[in-house]
Structure 1
């Protein structure tokens, strides 16, 4: 090819290249492309980066808090089951937001704020605080989704029978084994690993701490006969010997035997009078419901029942025998190698467990004859 011919071809080619280049530069400067193709590319990138959106991250603040969705307190409450404590048991106000931390019960919000009545999934009533004419119960209509919870830990003998409480409540929280939600005064739970029980030092034989004194009580009548045959160290307001909180447990643990006498005799009514000495290394001598009923809650070789003896004198003789025979006495603590006492927390645990029940059971029921069920 001649030089003249080559120049004739090159000149138009360079001109064309220049024009195309200008067009491309102008296009890129003034045209904003769609990000659809980029989003598609990023979706593919998600699978490689374990679910993190790299495109979003590039535009986010470097503040790490912005990477975590923040949930407002209102939304937290909204996502929980709300239990309104309408009547604070015996006026006792305490920290309520402990269902998760204390009892491992999730998703519950316990409150005493009556302004939340219409938002509450359950309303919690302590029987002993309800007025006889029911005048301190809610006046507003009950929302259709709401359940009313009846709670009482006193025995029928010491609980007023209130007309009008039938067909009012949806579930019961009580020490009764057949309550909707059973919460006993205490429980015997397994120990892992096994424990070597060490008997506390003992300098007293039999002890009793009592404040509620009534000469007609079965326990008072039994005590009066028993104390004729064995020495009993007595404490409490009933005897003019007040025991402070700091002395309560040391006093019980210093005794070989403790009179765990209930103030009334009812099925399943087994109170802290049993669980205190059990937990403190003292053998309970029980008076209350039947031995068989006690054994539904605690091992039969962990306590002594007055019904096992024909008379208070026969019981006293047996206690004297155990006092002199350490091997026989220590047999009452064999259970401690595999089990321990768990005390239940009045009343917050009852509210939390009622909440847990409501979360798990959506069916609707009414306690049609609460008076017959509880008072017989």
Structure 2
């Protein structure tokens, strides 16, 4: 018996056994990963751009928000886009996207190599003109604009869309049962010189307002924010910018989505009506004073049938929100992929920062 064990433990037999075991394990690994499982399809952005791909270089991650660079096709049905943050591909990129927020205080990190003749530089910005500093150096730097304004090259913003026939309104009228507050406001950015702050200070003298946000030391989560809007009859959709074309934010579209009536302060009513049904919101300029607005809100609180009229738009329309910044980048790539013509944009500062001069 001892002789038999010695034979088995002989170095030659151990070597043969070890080699055989390794070959068996390698065989099982290859079988599992390449026979039983389907071959993984590599999308262009994971490897290298296909021959006919449109290359869009993100010079910075917009607002430092990272996302899947391969999502244009799967999420937005946009084919042929190769998104990258690799600056080594600058000379091959069909477009370079630069978010204004990343250069507003430092222009030293812009591309230094000459721009290829086929390349478009895309200026992306979605903050208000009133709270964005003009930069003389970018006046004639870009040839494509990506913005919320109707006259931008690439327009992207929340919209009121016509419903499909089978779309069911899941908010109204059921949401009425949840409303136990009259007027609400969530605000963090506070400045006593802002028109919205001055208006609020007058309005609160005539009506009770439930306030939340960092300024009131009541920070809210996204879930809490949605709950607040659902339980309030009216929401103060007060922008910090007035007299600039087409500027309005989620401050009006979120209440519309969640079943609260927005009370808008910001751009003139006629600009709001370009994007929102006129009977879906209340504008502060409809009233001669904050006191008159408060009286109107209090009267609607007592007249439920009149209040319901602010929801009639929901029978035919719904709100389409935008996924920032992923959708913005994909739409930019779609634009340069389909629009091949030579393009120049002059006077960026005048176009974006000049105040409204007429009602057009």
User: Deviations 1:337-366 (Å, cap 9, x if unpaired)?
Assistant: 111111111112111111111122111122
3-state SS of 2:271 partner: helix
Q: Is the 8 A contact 2:280 2:311 kept in 1?
A: yes
Q: Is the 8 A contact 2:239 2:266 kept in 1?
A: yes
Aligned to 2:168: 195
Aligned to 2:77: 104
Aligned to 2:325: 347
TM-score normalized by structure 1?
A: 0.78
TM-score normalized by structure 2?
A: 0.82
Q: Call closer, same or farther: CA 1:287–1:116 in 2, change over 3 Å.
A: same
Matches within 5 A, 1:171-210: 171-184=144-157, 186-193=158-165, 194-196=167-169, 197-200=172-175, 201-210=178-187
1:268 and 2:249 equivalent? no
The alpha-carbon deviation at position 198 of structure 1 amounts to 2.8
| Inter-partner Cα distance in structure 2 for 1:77 and 1:147 | 20
Aligned to 1:321: 299
Aligned to 2:200: 223
User: Deviations 1:78-115 (Å, cap 9, x if unpaired)?
Assistant: 32111111011221111122212222222212221222
Aligned to 1:61: none
Q: Is the 8 A contact 1:99 1:106 kept in 2?
A: yes
More deviation, 291-300/87-96 = 87-96
Aligned to 2:142: 169
| Inter-partner Cα distance in structure 1 for 2:126 and 2:155 | 10
| Inter-partner Cα distance in structure 2 for 1:358 and 1:329 | 46
Aligned to 2:212: 235
| Inter-partner Cα distance in structure 1 for 2:181 and 2:43 | 58
Aligned to 1:214: 191
1:365 and 2:343 equivalent? yes
- Number of residues of Structure 1 aligned to a counterpart in Structure 2: 309
Q: Is the 8 A contact 1:195 1:338 kept in 2?
A: no
3-state SS of 1:366 partner: coil
| Inter-partner Cα distance in structure 2 for 1:355 and 1:215 | 41
Aligned to 1:28: none
The alpha-carbon deviation at position 120 of structure 1 amounts to 1.0
3-state SS of 2:50 partner: helix
User: Deviations 1:257-284 (Å, cap 9, x if unpaired)?
Assistant: 0000001112200100000000000000
Q: Answer with 1 or 2: which has the greater Rg.
A: 1
User: Deviations 1:199-223 (Å, cap 9, x if unpaired)?
Assistant: 4110110000000000000000000
3-state SS of 2:237 partner: strand
3-state SS of 1:268 partner: coil
Q: Is the 8 A contact 1:128 1:160 kept in 2?
A: no
3-state SS of 1:128 partner: helix
| Inter-partner Cα distance in structure 2 for 1:351 and 1:335 | 31
3-state SS of 2:123 partner: strand
User: Deviations 1:218-243 (Å, cap 9, x if unpaired)?
Assistant: 00000000000000000001111111
User: Deviations 1:307-353 (Å, cap 9, x if unpaired)?
Assistant: 10001010001101111111101110011111111111111211111
Aligned to 2:227: 250
The alpha-carbon deviation at position 132 of structure 1 amounts to 4.1
3-state SS of 2:137 partner: coil
User: How well do the aligned residues superpose, as a CA RMSD in angstroms?
Assistant: 2.0
| Inter-partner Cα distance in structure 2 for 1:282 and 1:364 | 45
| Inter-partner Cα distance in structure 2 for 1:76 and 1:274 | 40
* Alignment gaps of 5+ in structure 2: 1-40, 355-360
| Inter-partner Cα distance in structure 1 for 2:123 and 2:59 | 11
